[in-house]
A and B are shown apart, each in its own frame.
Chain A
Amino acid sequence: MTIDNAESEGQGVAAEAVIAQPGKEPRHIWRMVAIWLVLSAVLDPLFYILVGPHVPPGTMTSAAKDNQFDFNILLVAALPVFLAVWVYLAYSAVVWRASRKGAPEPVGGAQARTHLGVQVGWIVTTTVIVLGLFAFGTVEVITKAGSGGGEGPNPIWTPTSATILPVQVIAQQWKFTYRYPTFGGFESQQLIVPNNTTIAFHVTSLDVIHGFWAYELSIKADANPQQDNVAYATTRQTGSVTVRCEELCGLWHGAMFNYGKVVSKAAFMAWAKSTEAGTAANTKLLPPFAYTYVPDANGSDGGYYPDNVDPYSNSEVYGAKPAAS
């Protein structure tokens, strides 16, 4: 191949075409597409059917089920992208390797040039995928009441359920406790929630930032001092729940976990009523229920005071219908 450097690239293409003998040159791109199509067509459904149902966080709540679905959709969308790049890389490494000996030959001709159509196609494809994923994620987060993520003190994506059980999660170094405002505001060391119920978790902290992660419920909300962070989930199955702290909160962060339960409604009512009665004396010693608490700045009695009073609202009284107005 002796093409004068000053000559136009058109001649280069012509010479390349003669030398490359187009009849013998395999159609690399079509081969790769074929491999990719077969692999994607096999692996995508296989993953969705076999792996999908086992993808965390399971199906214990609506939020968990939705997030599992979202994860699987992303997985199904991502797998062909992985495969496309891997097939291409593997194919190039096998087919287009240089001979081990001799000085490297320049690669000339058409394959050395930048193809405008490929660039445009690539950019359009990635843009379409990205915008599609964005639209999907946005619809999911808005219609699924925030998908179990903490929405701050003023949630805008709320569940439609008429009755919502509020449960306050109080994080402190290094444990979680739970208060049930609709049952006199008693405090429990264990998270117990009823099945088939929409629950609003009001997450707050007494000291540093913690992260409330009720794994099976698919609830994740940071606990900030003097901040109410609300997350919703509707329970669908009974079972046990692992609660872990997922924001680094100091020395015993690694040991900041406990276990909770989703129980039947009847069992929950029985537990809540008896606990409310049984701990009434303790509840009196606690600061009155509030969405956030602030440490007593003077340190006179080392207590915590409610940051804002009047946390109750009719619609949040468990078991009661919302007020007419």
Chain B
Amino acid sequence: MTVTAERETEVVYPDPTPPVLGGFQGLPQRPGWLSQHLGTAAIGAVLGYLLGHWLGNVVASGYTNIADSGVNAVAITGGLLLGVFGWLLGIGALNYPLAKMVGLELRPDYESTSWTRYLRYTVDHKVVGLQYVIGVLAFLFTGGLLAMGIRTELLSPSSHLFGPGTYIAIVSEHGTIMMMMATSVIVGPLGNWLVPLMIGARRTAFPRVEAFSFWIFTAGYLVILSALFYGGFPTGWTGYAPLQTQAGGGMMSYLVGFAVIGLGMMAAGFNLAVTIINYRAPGMTWSRIPIFVWSILATCALLTLATPTLVAAGFFGILDHTAQTAFFVTEHGGSSFLWENLFWFFGHPEVYIMALPGFGIVFEILPVFTRKPLFAYKVAAAGMVGVALLSFFVWQHHLFQSGINPDMRPLFMLTTELISIPTGFIYLVGLGTLYKAKIKFEVPMLFALALFFNFLIGGITGVFLSDVPVNVTVHGSFFVLAHFHYTIMGGLIFAFFGGLYYWLPKMTGKTMNKKLGQIHFWIMFIFFNLTFFPMFLIGLLGQPRRVFEYAQNLQALNDFSSVSAFILGASFLVFVANFVWSIFIKPTPAPANPWDSLGLEWQTPTPVPYYNFERIPVVLSDPYHYSEENAPAVADLGEEGVLVAAGASSPASVAEDPRPPAQ
């Protein structure tokens, strides 16, 4: 009684050997050492940085303010921007437009099967997805290490491990890295990898844009890390403006980094949105697309619409530093409120960029491990779209005490609390799916259920924060910190790991170790809660965010939180061990559909062929018919490879399929 895709696919692909490493038609085949990969990207970045820095020094070193301060923001900005450009040039992201510019054609870029393709600029969405997995994990673990530094410092209220400058640099770097990572943590790896497969497409709409989004994302990672090289920046991830204008070279890494990541976010969102709208297989109607695709679509709308505000704000900040404009300089006619509003106009949709894909993942996982259809599919989709729409109208709840006129406060309290209605839909769908189910507690399911536990705490404390009077007590305190760690880490990161345990067998063709997965989950779940729940109390008892000194009476709670945080950090080592062990050291081949899922992505052979589907499938129903034995086929995959639903002993007929076959 399992879903099988036993059909042997015999797809004729262009011969992958010898690997054709791009290059230009009409020019001789370039030798292997000239091929473009991570190494040439690094060389390009270094050369670009040096050139930009030199140019900046030539142009601006004579300015009075630069001579006085000794920090040449022009040179740093130029270095970082040209460094990013060199990185893209080195990896080959610009080959296509450059070739077109000089009237050359690129050689057809056949997929190489060598592992080195993961170090190259490649347009296969599955390779890009796995590149993203490694990329966001590097991001996540870097930010996590910095968090360990913060918790170590907070072990003692008054004796210090770091100087105040180092501490504030660590705090700012942690926040910024995590926020940058979290915008892409699901859209990048799972969105790029899964969406084309889930909607029955052979590729994303703009494969070069998709690859570009990854490589500029990695460039953003390097740029934001470079802040440490300039002594860090003191503003936290929010980058509030008069302080930002005052800050030194590290601030340029923040501004350029966010602009660069912003470009990547827009590229990724735009590409996937277009893919979802235009590349659905025949029969893949809006009421049949998997709910994860709905969540990605809602997220992509936010990515493409909210991010430009951030890039524009960052541009103002860069101008303030380099061209001596005064967007944020009060005494020259600027405003300290301008950045706050621009930033949060992006920043609040951004937190839903982080929440929505998590919901999508758990909704994919729940039906599989309850053997039930998703409860109220339309409500789930409506909830995601509703959250996405409302998220543009709540940003001033970050600014309740900021000194803006208070007239609009009730309105923003209302919109913020209204968001809990579509968010409540998520719970309706989740809990409804569990009703009288047959729950199988596989590792992905554990993570999915944990999201409902954690996000409840994060969500309801969000209502506390939205209440203007209560906000006076909790704003800017550890209460806020606990709240958004509960939503982002407790929601998104749990969903991300659930998604990894769920889809890695398909993505890599290897089975993750279940025991280690369970150990990872339980340590992570228990110590996540033990780390962050005390922070609600710490905040209520009066500890502001981002401080290195706190009241003596809060030491016990802080130490408890710190020690839990160290164990929480260690739980990720279990994941890394599992990942390395199960995929590289002792790989166990995974069956094509280990969870008996009906999702279209599981009906492909493992490893998924380069073009995903031999023939574009004709979709016959939504993929949640777990309740019916002999359910109608989800999709017609062509030839004898007719997809069958759970429990069917023979392939269901597609004779009654009213739609014409795919072209």
Which A residues fall within an 8 A CB radius of B? Answer: 1-5, 12, 28, 55-57, 63, 66-67, 70-71, 74, 78, 81-82, 85-86, 88-89, 92-93, 96-99, 103-109, 111-115, 118-119, 122-123, 126-127, 130, 133-134, 137-138, 140-142, 144, 146-157, 203, 207-209, 211, 213, 215, 218-229, 231, 242, 244-255, 257, 294-295, 297
With the chains together, A203 CA to B402 CA distance in Å? Answer: 10
B464 at interface (Cβ–Cβ under 8 A)?
yes
Q: A146 near B406 (CB under 8 angstroms)?
A: yes
B345 at interface (Cβ–Cβ under 8 A)?
no
B245 and chain A: residue at smallest CB distance: A208
- B346-388 Cβ-contact flags toward A at 8 Å (1 or 0): 0000000000000000000000011111011101000000000
Distance of B267 from chain A, by nearest CB (Å)? 31
Ranked 8 nearest A-B pairs via Cβ: A112-B627, A246-B476, A229-B403, A254-B547, A147-B469, A111-B436, A254-B548, A98-B438
B164 at interface (Cβ–Cβ under 8 A)?
yes
Q: A222 near B401 (CB under 8 angstroms)?
A: yes
Known: A82-B460, A85-B456, A86-B453. A107 touches B336 (CB 8 A): no
Q: A74 near B467 (CB under 8 angstroms)?
A: yes
Q: B330 near A225 (CB under 8 angstroms)?
A: yes
Known: A107-B437, A225-B330. A254 touches B165 (CB 8 A): no
Cross-chain pairs A/B with CB under 8 angstroms, 7 sampled:
A82-B457, A98-B440, A106-B627, A111-B436, A115-B432, A142-B410, A213-B544
Give chain A residues whose Cβ lies under 8 Å from the Cβ of B577.
none
Give chain A residues whose Cβ lies under 8 Å from the Cβ of B427.
85
With the chains together, A248 CA to B427 CA distance in Å? Answer: 35
B630 at interface (Cβ–Cβ under 8 A)?
yes
B331 at interface (Cβ–Cβ under 8 A)?
yes
- B616-659 Cβ-contact flags toward A at 8 Å (1 or 0): 00000000001111111000000000000111000010000000
B234 and chain A: residue at smallest CB distance: A250
Which of A2, A115, A254: most chain B Cβ within 10 A? A254
A69 and chain B: residue at smallest CB distance: B469
With the chains together, A144 CA to B473 CA distance in Å? Answer: 14
With the chains together, A264 CA to B428 CA distance in Å? Answer: 54
B242 and chain A: residue at smallest CB distance: A208
Q: B469 near A114 (CB under 8 angstroms)?
A: no
Give chain B residues whose Cβ lies under 8 Å from the Cβ of A98.
371, 438-440
Give chain A residues whose Cβ lies under 8 Å from the Cβ of B439.
92-93, 96-98
With the chains together, A248 CA to B463 CA distance in Å? Answer: 24
B64 at interface (Cβ–Cβ under 8 A)?
no
With the chains together, A141 CA to B246 CA distance in Å? Answer: 35
Known: A207-B242, A248-B546. A155 touches B406 (CB 8 A): yes
Distance of A87 from chain B, by nearest CB (Å)? 11
Q: A295 near B401 (CB under 8 angstroms)?
A: no
Distance of B656 from chain A, by nearest CB (Å)? 9
B452 at interface (Cβ–Cβ under 8 A)?
yes
Q: A141 near B336 (CB under 8 angstroms)?
A: no
B540 at interface (Cβ–Cβ under 8 A)?
yes
Known: A126-B420, A248-B235. A5 touches B631 (CB 8 A): yes
With the chains together, A115 CA to B436 CA distance in Å? Answer: 13
B559 at interface (Cβ–Cβ under 8 A)?
no
Which of A71, A82, A107, A146: most chain B Cβ within 10 A? A107
B101 at interface (Cβ–Cβ under 8 A)?
no
Q: A254 near B546 (CB under 8 angstroms)?
A: yes
